Amino acid sequence: MKLEALFVPESGIVKYHVKIKFAVEGVVEKADLIGAIFGQTEGLFGPEMNLHELQKNWKVGRIEIKLESKNGRTNGEVLIPMATDMSTSALIAAAIENIDKVGPCTAKFHLAAIDDVRAIKRKAIAERAKVIMREWAAKTSSESEEILKEVSASTKPSRIIAYGKDNLPAGPGIYLTNDIYLVEGRADVINLLRAGIDNVIAIEGTKVPESMIKLAKEKSVTAFLDGDRGGDLIQKELAQVIKTKRVVRAPSGKEVEDLTPVEILKILKPPPVEEKRIEAKPAPPAPPKIPQPLLKNIKEIYPKINGTLEAVILDGKMKQIIQIPVNQLVEKLSIQKNAKTIIFDGIVTQRLVDICESLGAGTIIGHRVGNITKKSTNITILTFEQLGLD
Q: What is the CATH number of the domain that holds 188?
A: 3.40.1360.10
The answer to whether the predicted template modeling score (pTM) of the entire model surpasses 0.85 is no
Residues 169, 253 within the same domain: yes
Residue 150: inside a domain, yes or no?
no
Residue 123: inside a domain, yes or no?
no
Distance CA 341, CA 344 (A): 10
**Length in residues, the chain:** 390
Residues 167, 104 within the same domain: no
Residues 168, 260 within the same domain: yes
The torsion defined by the Cα of 114, 117, 122 and 123, in degrees rounded to 10, comes to: 70
Distance CA 326, CA 306 (A): 12
Q: For the residues of 247-273, what is the DSSP string, one character each?
A: EEEPSTT--GGG--HHHHHHHHSPPPP
Domain count of the chain? 3
Residues 164, 260 within the same domain: yes
Q: Residue 202 has what pLDDT?
A: 94
Q: Residue 169 has what pLDDT?
A: 94
Residue 65: inside a domain, yes or no?
yes
Range of the domain at 374: 292-383
Q: What is the CATH number of the domain that holds 339?
A: 3.40.140.20
Q: Residue 2 has what pLDDT?
A: 37
Reduce the secondary structure of 271-317 to three states and give it as a string. Answer: CCCCCCCCCCCCCCCCCCCCCHHHHHHHHHHHHHHCCCCEEEEECCC
Closest-CA residue to 46 (of 92, 78, 15, 81): 92
Q: Are 117 and 17 in contact (CB under 8 A)?
A: yes
Q: What is the CATH number of the domain that holds 64?
A: 3.30.70.2690
Residues 253, 298 within the same domain: no
Residue 281: inside a domain, yes or no?
no
- By 3-state DSSP, what share of the chain in percent is helix, strand and coil, each rounded to 5? 40, 25, 40
Q: Residue 212 has what pLDDT?
A: 93
Residue 127: inside a domain, yes or no?
no
How many other CB atoms sit within 10 Å of the CB of residue 187? Answer: 18
Regions of the chain with pLDDT less than 50? 1-11
| Cβ neighbours of residue 74 closer than 8 Å, sequence gap 6 or more | 22, 23, 24, 26, 27, 28, 67, 68, 102, 105
Q: Residue 3 has what pLDDT?
A: 39
171 burial (CB, 10 Å; 0-12 / 13-18 / 19+) is buried
